[in-house]
Each structure stands twice: as C-alpha cells, then as structure tokens.
C-alpha cells in the first residue's frame, strides 16, 4: 500500500478568487495558472504530487486537491493507495499565512456542495452555461 496526500479546505470571503489565489500562492510557494479543475474554471497548480484547484463556489473559495500522477495511479492497481488527509494542517497554515480564515468543510458545507453540484450539472446540461452563483470573482 502506498500513501498519498489529499485535502479540501475553504474560506468565506468577499475577496475575489484571484486575490485569494495570490495569497495562497505566496503561502505555499507555488505558482497557479488559469485552467480547469475537473470541469470548473479555476486556478490550478501541482503541489506535493497533487493537482490543486482554487475556485469560487457559492460564497466560498475552495482549495481542493486530487491525485493525477500516473505513477501513483499505476501503484493503486498494484496494491492500493491509502489517502492521508492533511486538510486541517493546510487550513491552519493558510489561516496563519494569509489574511483569510480557512476551514475544513463541515457536513453542512458538503451538503451545500452537493446541491450546488446538482444545480451546476442541471444548468450545464441545459445550456452549457455555469450558474450565476458559480463565479470565481465572488
């Protein structure tokens, strides 16, 4: 079994995703670029073997990770992967090193995410346009 890192954290702010991205970039010493995270327009970067996406989602800015390195995906087929959630450490570090208060998503956050996802999927299927509340400029 191989261990892999993962995290998902968020902040509620009136700042734009671009402003938050600048602060996170400096705190993590990583360069973000505009791109796609899954199907969402986001600021993306590679960090500690993870693909990281920063994007507006409702009233929050999310910083989320996923495994993309094919070497690890191959390892998953050879005995599996054990995720190590580092969200609390990332939230604490970003709260200290940026002007934003970061948190690990609560059950209420995750329930809201599910509703947002369903609405996003429904509207995208109707006219390929993201819903108005999904705005990385917050």
**Residue 73: per-residue pLDDT:** 64
Domain assignment of residue 137, yes or no: no
| Sign of the dihedral through C-alpha 11, 18, 89, 58 | positive
What is the model's pLDDT at position 119? 66
Q: Is residue 65 part of a domain?
A: yes
12 within domain boundaries? yes
Check pLDDT > 50 for residue 138: no
User: What average pLDDT does the structure give for the chain?
Assistant: 84
Q: Is residue 21 part of a domain?
A: yes
* Within a domain: 87: yes
pTM: predicted TM-score of the whole model, two decimal places: 0.79
| Whole-angstrom distance, CA of residue 99 vs CA of residue 79 | 41
Q: In this model, does residue 50 exceed pLDDT 80? A: yes
Residue 135 lies in a domain: no
Domain count, the chain: 1
134 in a domain, yes or no? no
20-33: per-residue pLDDT in tens? 999 999 999 999 99
> Is the pLDDT assigned to residue 79 strictly greater than 90?
no
pLDDT confidence band for 35 (50 / 70 / 90): very high
State which residues form the domain around 87: 2-127
**CATH no. for residue 69?**
3.30.310
Residue 40 lies in a domain: yes
Across the beta sheet with 50-57, the strand order is 33-37, 40-47, 50-57, 60-67, 8-12, 102-103
132 has pLDDT over 60: no
């Amino acid at each position: 079994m191989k261990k892999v890192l993962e995290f998902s954290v968020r902040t509620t702010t009136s700042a734009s995703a671009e402003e938050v991205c600048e602060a996170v970039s400096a705190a993590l010493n990583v360069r973000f670029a505009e791109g796609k995270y899954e199907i969402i327009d986001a600021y993306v970067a590679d960090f500690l073997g993870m693909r990281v996406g920063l994007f507006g989602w409702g009233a929050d800015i999310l910083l989320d990770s996923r495994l993309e390195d094919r070497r690890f995906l191959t390892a998953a087929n050879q005995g599996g992967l054990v995720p190590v959630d580092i969200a609390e450490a990332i939230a604490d570090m970003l709260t200290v090193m940026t002007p934003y208060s970061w948190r690990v998503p609560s059950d209420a956050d995750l329930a809201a995410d599910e509703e947002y996802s369903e609405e996003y999927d429904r509207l995208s299927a109707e006219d390929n346009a993201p819903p108005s509340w999904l705005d990385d400029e917050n």
